[in-house]
Amino acid sequence: MTKKLLLFVFLIAGAIGLYAQTISGNVTDLTGAGITNYQVYIINNDSMNPYSSSTYTAGGGAYSFSNVPSSSSGFVVYVYDCQQSMQTVNLAANSGTANFSICTSNPSSCTAVFYSTPDSSNANLIYFTDLSSGNPTSWSWSFGDGSGSSSQNPSHTYGASGTYTVTLNISSANCSDSYTTTVTVGNVVPSCVADFYSYADSNNVQLIQFIDNSAGSPTSWSWDFGDGATASTQNPNHTYAATGSYNVTLSISSANCSDTYTTTVVVGNVTPGCIANFTFAPDSNNTSLIHFYDASTGNPTNWMWDFGDGNTSSLQNPFHSYASSGTYNVSLIITGNNCQSSYNANVIVSGSVLSYTVEGSIYANNLVVTAVDVDLFDVTNNVVAYSTRVSPMGTYNFANVVAGTYIVLATPDTTVIPGYAPTYYGNVIFWSAATQLNVNANQSGININLVAIPVTPGSGSISGTVSTGNKSSVENLNVYLTDDNNSDVLVASTTSSC
pLDDT tens digit string along 238-248? Answer: 999 988 878 88
Cα 341 to its chain centre, rounded Å, is: 24
CB burial readout 145-160, b (16+ within 10 A) else e:
eeeebeebebebebee
The answer to whether residues 55 and 95 belong to one domain is yes
> 482 to each of 59, 297, 491, how far by Cα in Å?
98, 38, 9
- Residue ranges of the chain whose pLDDT lies below 50: 1-18, 106-108, 189-190, 456, 468-471, 484-489, 497-498
Total domains present in the chain: 3
Comparing C-alpha atoms, which of 295, 322, 296 is closest to residue 311?
322
The answer to whether residues 119 and 96 belong to one domain is no
In angstroms, the CA 306 to CA 320 distance is 10
Burial (CB < 10 A; 0-12, 13-18, 19+), residue 293, is: middle
pLDDT of residue 172: 76
pLDDT of residue 285: 64
In angstroms, the CA 83 to CA 241 distance is 67
In angstroms, the CA 100 to CA 61 distance is 10
The answer to whether residues 122 and 160 belong to one domain is yes
Question: Does residue 425 lie in a domain region?
Answer: no
| β-strand partners of 62 | 26
Question: Does residue 331 lie in a domain region?
Answer: no
Does residue 242 contact residue 229 with C-beta atoms inside 8 Å? Answer: no
Could you say which DSSP state residue 34 is in?
B
| β-strand partners of 85 | none
pLDDT of residue 106: 47
In angstroms, the CA 346 to CA 331 distance is 9
The answer to whether residues 88 and 144 belong to one domain is no
pLDDT of residue 107: 46
In angstroms, the CA 332 to CA 341 distance is 8
- Is the pTM value of this prediction over 0.85? no
Question: Does residue 174 lie in a domain region?
Answer: yes
Question: Does residue 80 lie in a domain region?
Answer: yes
Full domain range(s) for residue 160: 114-185
Question: Does residue 301 lie in a domain region?
Answer: no
DSSP 435-454: PPEEESS-B----EEEEEPS
**CB contact set of 16 (below 8 Å; sequence gap of 6+):** 67, 69
- C-beta atoms surrounding 309 within 10 Å: 15
Greatest Cα pair distance, the chain, in angstroms, is 151
In angstroms, the CA 139 to CA 141 distance is 7
The answer to whether residues 93 and 130 belong to one domain is no
In angstroms, the CA 169 to CA 61 distance is 35
Comparing C-alpha atoms, which of 224, 213, 216, 222 is closest to residue 255?
216
Question: Does residue 131 lie in a domain region?
Answer: yes
Pick from 170, 185, 200: which residue ends a domain? 185
The answer to whether residues 87 and 120 belong to one domain is no
**CB contact set of 235 (below 8 Å; sequence gap of 6+):** 209, 210, 211, 212
DSSP 137-171: SEEEEE-SSS-EE-SSS-EEE-SS-EEEEEEEEEE
Could you say which DSSP state residue 102 is in?
-
The answer to whether residues 124 and 149 belong to one domain is yes
Q: Which helix (H) or strand (E) holds 11?
A: helix 2-19
What are the two backbone dihedrals, phi and then psi, of residue 60, each rounded to the nearest 5 degrees? 80, 5
Task: State how beta strands 448-452 and 355-364 pair.
Answer: parallel
The answer to whether residues 38 and 91 belong to one domain is yes
pLDDT of residue 484: 44
End-to-end CA separation in angstroms for the chain: 145
The answer to whether residues 24 and 94 belong to one domain is yes
Q: Which residue type occupies 5? A: L
The answer to whether residues 68 and 133 belong to one domain is no
In angstroms, the CA 166 to CA 483 distance is 55
In angstroms, the CA 34 to CA 62 distance is 8
Question: Does residue 212 lie in a domain region?
Answer: no
Question: Does residue 262 lie in a domain region?
Answer: no
pLDDT tens digit string along 95-131? Answer: 678 899 887 654 445 777 777 777 767 888 888 888 7
Pick from 185, 208, 233: which residue ends a domain? 185
CATH number at residue 33: 2.60.40.10
pLDDT of residue 191: 63
Does residue 413 contact residue 420 with C-beta atoms inside 8 Å? Answer: no
Pick from 122, 157, 185: which residue ends a domain? 185
